[in-house]
Amino acid sequence: MLFTDSIAALSSGHLPSGVAIIRISGPHVRFALETICGSLPQPRLAHYGALHASDGRVIDKALTLFFPGPNSFTGEDCGEFQVHGGRAVVATLLAEISGLPGFRQAEAGEFTKRAFLNGKIDLLEAEALADLVNAETEAQRQFAVMNSGGAQSEFYLGWRRRLIHARAMIEAEMDFADEGDVPGSVSTQVWRDVKLLIEEMNRHADGYGKAEMIRDGFDVVILGAPNAGKSSLLNALVRREAAIVTDEPGTTRDLVEAVLDLDGMKVRITDTAGLREPTGKVEAIGIERARERAKGADLIVLLEDMTSPVAVLDIPAGIRNLRIGNKLDLSASPEDGRYAASISTKSGEGLDRLLDMISAMAGEAIGQRGDVLPSRLRHVELLQQASGYLELALSTQDLVLELKAENLRLASDRIGKLSGAVDVEDLLDVIFSQFCIGK
């Protein structure tokens, strides 16, 4: 695909910064570089020199790079100005570029969109690039870098090949059938593989929860009676005063959430109102929120003050929990078998052990690093549709081969939409608008 206009944007972060990178792409890039640098830099070699405005003023001395298409990120001619990251420098240069014929400011994700439309990357790789830009933890980075390198694409391509093969076999069988000679063993093998594919697709789609956990975090909710030390625990784990602590029971009313990077995994910790018979409206709502919030947790930490234990036992079913004893510094009998761990938020004793336990549980829930997982709800929906068509292909009456073949085609079409190999025009705006400007 050829675009007739050229785009420009600041691709580096907030200003002022040491260096700012302004990126341009499109058919007018050569002209822009010649005009602003005085001459076209050697392809892919940094050129150092003054950048000039149209009235002859020097804008800055900068490094300029030229990446001729099609061997560039977008597949078009691309350029990069690495200037000093002052607001006025960037504003002047951007205004200068925008004033050149054919240029306009890029929209969010437009460089990546052009890369996709020019066949440089597929849709899964584009989505993974967005994830890479947004990655905050090591697990997120590893997941994104693996997929931006094509791991997810290759995985689905394998399925698509098997489906195309199955369809070819069935269509061949249809031709044989006209001649009254049906090689039954071939089709038995094909349907066996289709059945296997359905299982593989469903299992893979189930992995979305793990991808969500990598992106949104492993969700830990602290529950316990008033004054158990829940807010103190949250503060100790995240090492800042995220929640108010007092010796007054019923201090915390609302949910207080903080995020932790634990061994490269994002972990969300939520402090809640102490559970008891509420003494007023606000506390009643707070306790209701605590109970609601706990239902969606990946792990509940049940905290008890060991010097006056009040066990909270009516926790939501089916969610893992750790019963933890607090105020070890005041406790006479620290080796209490009721608790998975004994801690003191005051002295810090036992906190590392608790963090190790949470980390192990998060690691187990997230699964092996390097697993290929569906990373968007879009993927899960297409996978479910594909496996639905395969179910239909299996269940359609044996003799209607045309129907079976059509359902195989629809399934492989859905898998093709994952990478954008099959028409996805309607999706593009949704996907690329989630990017930042300049990417």
Ligand X SMILES: Nc1nc2c(ncn2[C@@H]2O[C@H](COP(=O)(O)OP(=O)(O)OP(=O)(O)O)[C@@H](O)[C@H]2O)c(=O)[nH]1
Task: Choose the binding region for Mg ion from 25-33, 249-257, 306-314, 354-362 (rule: CB under 5 A).
Answer: 249-257
Site string for ligand X, 211-240 (x = CB under 6 A): -------------x-xxxxxxx--------
Answer yes or no whether residue 286 interacts with ligand X by CB under 6 A: no
CA pair distance 141, 149, nearest whole angstrom: 12
Whole-number minimum distance, CB 288 to ligand X, in Å?
14
Structure tokens at 433: 């608008």
Whole-number minimum distance, CB 142 to K ion, in Å?
39
Task: Choose the binding region for Mg ion from 54-62, 145-153, 162-170, 227-235 (rule: CB under 5 A).
Answer: 227-235
Query: Which of 330, 360, 394, 400: binder of ligand X (CB under 6 A)?
Result: 330
Q: CB-based burial of residue 92 (10 Å sphere; 0-12 exposed, 13-18 middle, 19+ buried)?
A: middle
Nearer to Mg ion, 147 or 231 (CB): 231
Residue type, 209: G
The partner in contact with residue 229, picked from Mg ion, K ion, ligand X, none with C-beta cut-offs of 5 to 8 angstroms by kind, is ligand X
Q: In sequence order, what are the residues at sequence separation of 6 or more whose Cβ sits closer than 8 angstroms to the Cβ of residue 27?
A: 2, 3, 4, 5, 6, 76, 77, 102
Site string for ligand X, 336-355 (x = CB under 6 A): --------xxx---------
Whole-number minimum distance, CB 341 to ligand X, in Å?
13
Q: In sequence order, what are the residues at sequence separation of 6 or more whose Cβ sits closer than 8 angstroms to the Cβ of residue 66?
A: 29, 30, 33, 40, 41, 42, 43, 44, 47, 77, 78, 79
Answer yes or no whether residue 231 interacts with Mg ion by CB under 5 A: yes
CA pair distance 131, 147, nearest whole angstrom: 9
Answer yes or no whether residue 252 interacts with Mg ion by CB under 5 A: yes
Using CA atoms, how far residue 50 sits from 82, 83, 206, 286, 290, in Å, is 11, 10, 55, 62, 61
Answer yes or no whether residue 150 interacts with ligand X by CB under 6 A: no
Task: Choose the binding region for K ion from 71-79, 175-183, 220-228, 304-312 (rule: CB under 5 A).
Answer: 220-228
Task: Choose the binding region for K ion from 73-81, 128-136, 224-232, 308-316 (rule: CB under 5 A).
Answer: 224-232
CA atoms within 13 A on the CB side of 326: 24
Indicate the pairing of strand 6-10 with strand 17-25.
antiparallel
Read off the DSSP letter of residue 331. -
Using CB under 5 A, list all residues that contact K ion: 227, 251
